[in-house]
Amino acid sequence: MSTPAPVHYLSTLAFPDRWLDELRARHPRLEVTQIRAGAPEEIPGEVWRRTEILHTGSVFPRAAADVPRLEWIQLDTSGADHLKGTSVWDLPVPLTTIGGISPVPMAEYVMMMILGLAHRLPRAVQVQSAGVWPSLGERWNTLMPRRLRGATVGIVGYGRIGKEIGRLAGQFGMTVLGLKRERGTRAGEFFGEAAQEAEAELYTPDELHAFLARCDYLVLTCPLTEETRGMIDAEAVARLKEGAMVVNVSRGGILDEEALRAGLRSGRVAGAALDVFDAEPLPAGHPWWDEPGVLLTPHVAGFAPDYEEQTLELVSANVGRHLAGQDLLNLVDRARGY
């Protein structure tokens, strides 16, 4: 009986040797190569030519002719919007993401920010920075928390992350609204356990304005697609419930930042927590750094403390499926854009 041919796997990432060794041990057919690269020209041509499985975040072949044996790309990102309009998007190979690794820490991040905004954390940070104990009147007027129990959180993108946010919000007695493309469940197989369903009232994008009018807290977790780009524009901000607060952990392009800033300065929007921006890295001196009422973090909401272990489980599962000719987990639907 002949020995099956090796399958060539290339990582452009920075996994430790123990991670790579474990992948080899689980799949003896894999010939594993890792080249920590920041650009495609850092990968030798002969490596590109033999690569069948590419595991990468942002390093891709320049052209299909460079990777004649490529069969599948495993992305090290939870989204694929950064590939739309590139030659990689048009390669005739499946794309898969690491979706399912970050829902729990991202949901915890969102609840941290909702709690921080409700308990006036931006103002509290200002007080600490000033180093002056405010009067009782100042504390009463500027540091009085908002009630969470009975408040309404509206989650745009009610998938795995959105459902986990909804579950946690429900524990605080919040009313949960979910907005998703379809009220049904998207077909397909995904990595990780499905979040427990919170009791949520579902809306579709054509009902956006009615949805926004009910939100005390608006949370954005949806992928960036042609349909969601600019979804929260000036009109949408104007439709928000008076005094709403906004948390964005999706992509900068979904939210009109100037419209949000205008809403904050007019008082219609009471506060915001932003982890993603139109311009990343956010330039020094950008208005967001000093905007009153805003909690800002540098695109870290999706960081997962068990990233390496969970990524190994996902990649190993997908390698097994690939070798067996089965459907892959977290397959990107190019028609939908995610």
Q: Which CATH number fits domain 7-101+305-324: 3.40.50.720, 1.10.10.10, 3.40.1710.10, 3.90.79.10?
A: 3.40.50.720
Please tell me the predicted confidence (pLDDT) of residue 1.
56
Q: Which two tokens stand for residue 148?
A: 């969470």
Kindly report, residue by residue over 203-242, the tens digit of the pLDDT.
999 999 999 999 999 999 999 988 999 999 999 999 999 9
- Rounded distance between C-alpha atoms, residue 168 and residue 148, angstroms: 12
Q: Which two tokens stand for residue 246?
A: 């906004």
Catalytic residue, candidates 207, 258, 280, 309: 280
Q: Which two tokens stand for residue 109?
A: 């991040």
Domain boundaries, the chain: 7-101+305-324, 103-296
| Other C-beta atoms lying within 10 Å of the C-beta of residue 136 | 7
Report residue 108 CA to chain centroid gap.
Answer: 13
Catalytic residue, candidates 123, 167, 299, 321: 299
Catalytic residue, candidates 251, 257, 291, 322: 251
Please tell me the predicted confidence (pLDDT) of residue 313.
96
Closest CA to 23 of 314, 316, 309: 316
Is the whole-model pTM more than 0.85? yes
- Rounded distance between C-alpha atoms, residue 310 and residue 81, angstroms: 22
* pLDDT > 90? residue 181: no
- Is 82 annotated in the active site? no
Q: Do domains 7-101+305-324 and 103-296 have the same CATH topology?
A: yes
For residue 250, CA distances in Å to 147, 164, 178, 247, 288 come to 26, 15, 15, 9, 17
Do 121 and 287 meet the contact criterion of CB atoms below 8 Å apart? Answer: no
193 falls in which pLDDT band (50, 70, 90)?
low
Kindly report, residue by residue over 257-289, the tens digit of the pLDDT.
999 999 999 999 999 999 999 999 999 999 999
User: Is the alpha carbon torsion for 124, 130, 132, 137 positive or negative?
Assistant: negative
| Other C-beta atoms lying within 10 Å of the C-beta of residue 57 | 14
CATH dotted code for 103-296: 3.40.50.720
Do 204 and 183 meet the contact criterion of CB atoms below 8 Å apart? Answer: yes
Closest CA to 277 of 237, 248, 234: 248
Do 78 and 302 meet the contact criterion of CB atoms below 8 Å apart? Answer: yes
- Is 8 annotated in the active site? no
| Other C-beta atoms lying within 10 Å of the C-beta of residue 210 | 11
Give the list of residues 6+ apart from residue 242 with CB closer than 8 angstroms, or none.
268
Please tell me the predicted confidence (pLDDT) of residue 186.
52
